[in-house]
Amino acid sequence: MNQQDKALVVLSGGQDSTTCLYWALERFGGPSNVEAVTFDYGQRHRVELEAAEHIARMAGVHHTVLPIDTFAAIGGNALTDASITPETEGPAEGALPNTFVPGRNLIFLTFAAALAYTRGARHLVTGVAQTDYSGYPDCRENTLKALELALRLGMDSRVVLHAPLMYLTKAETVHLARSVGAMEALAYSHTCYNGTVPPCGHCASCELRAKGFAEAGEPDPLVVRCAGRPQ
């Protein structure tokens, strides 16, 4: 496998990006051809940074953390602004949930592409999914295709954006995680919007994750690991 077949995975420490990391390991030939990057963007719950570090170590991949504090300075969303509580019910029709961070995936993938360029890696892997309940506009395939073109033109590169979960349900994502050997790592992943370990179980992210594992007929490794720990 030549240098251009290397991959860089955007690893948040959550269920989807962890699954994508192990997908990339299988697809691109193991830890020698795969790296991970995590963004410290001023997120309120630092536990996800710890989760990403732990999972990268489990996978045996080189891991880079890049600081981007602008999102915290902008505020206005529940992931970076402590004055805003994540919604427990869906947003009003035509609105996005208050956990939407405007421009986040666009910025992440642009910085990831820059890092990949310096690493001689052609492939970028992200865990975004168009089927996600939130309908975030920067998780849609047409957004990624447009960004891929912009990155190719702006960096004079042949970068390829991969979103292996794009059209999978959460249950199908669980099955994929099983098939690529990610289940053990998922025991250390973090998706709870309230930042608690064990997960709170009632925020929108926890409910979506629980629904996916239930529909897949699989126990959630994180819940199993945390069993018996106090809330």
- 203 annotated to a ligand binding site: yes
CATH number at residue 74: 3.40.50.620
Total domains in the chain come to 1
- 83 annotated to a ligand binding site: no
- 147 annotated to a ligand binding site: no
- 226 annotated to a ligand binding site: no
Confidence check: pLDDT of 140 > 90: no
User: Is residue 189 in some structural domain?
Assistant: yes
Q: pLDDT-derived band of residue 47, with 50, 70 and 90 as boundaries?
A: very high
- 85 annotated to a ligand binding site: no
User: Is residue 231 in some structural domain?
Assistant: no
Q: pLDDT for 144-192, tens place per residue?
A: 999 999 999 999 999 999 999 999 999 999 999 999 999 999 999 999 9
- 60 annotated to a ligand binding site: no
178: amino acid identity, one letter:
R
Q: pLDDT for 74-133, tens place per residue?
A: 655 555 555 556 655 555 555 566 556 667 888 899 999 999 999 999 999 999 988 755
User: Is residue 49 in some structural domain?
Assistant: yes
Give the global pTM.
0.87
Mean pLDDT over each residue of the chain, to the nearest integer: 86
- 21 annotated to a ligand binding site: yes
- 206 annotated to a ligand binding site: yes
User: Is residue 168 in some structural domain?
Assistant: yes
The residue range of the domain holding 124 is 3-226
User: Is residue 24 in some structural domain?
Assistant: yes
- 17 annotated to a ligand binding site: yes
- 16 annotated to a ligand binding site: yes
- 13 annotated to a ligand binding site: yes
User: Is residue 85 in some structural domain?
Assistant: yes
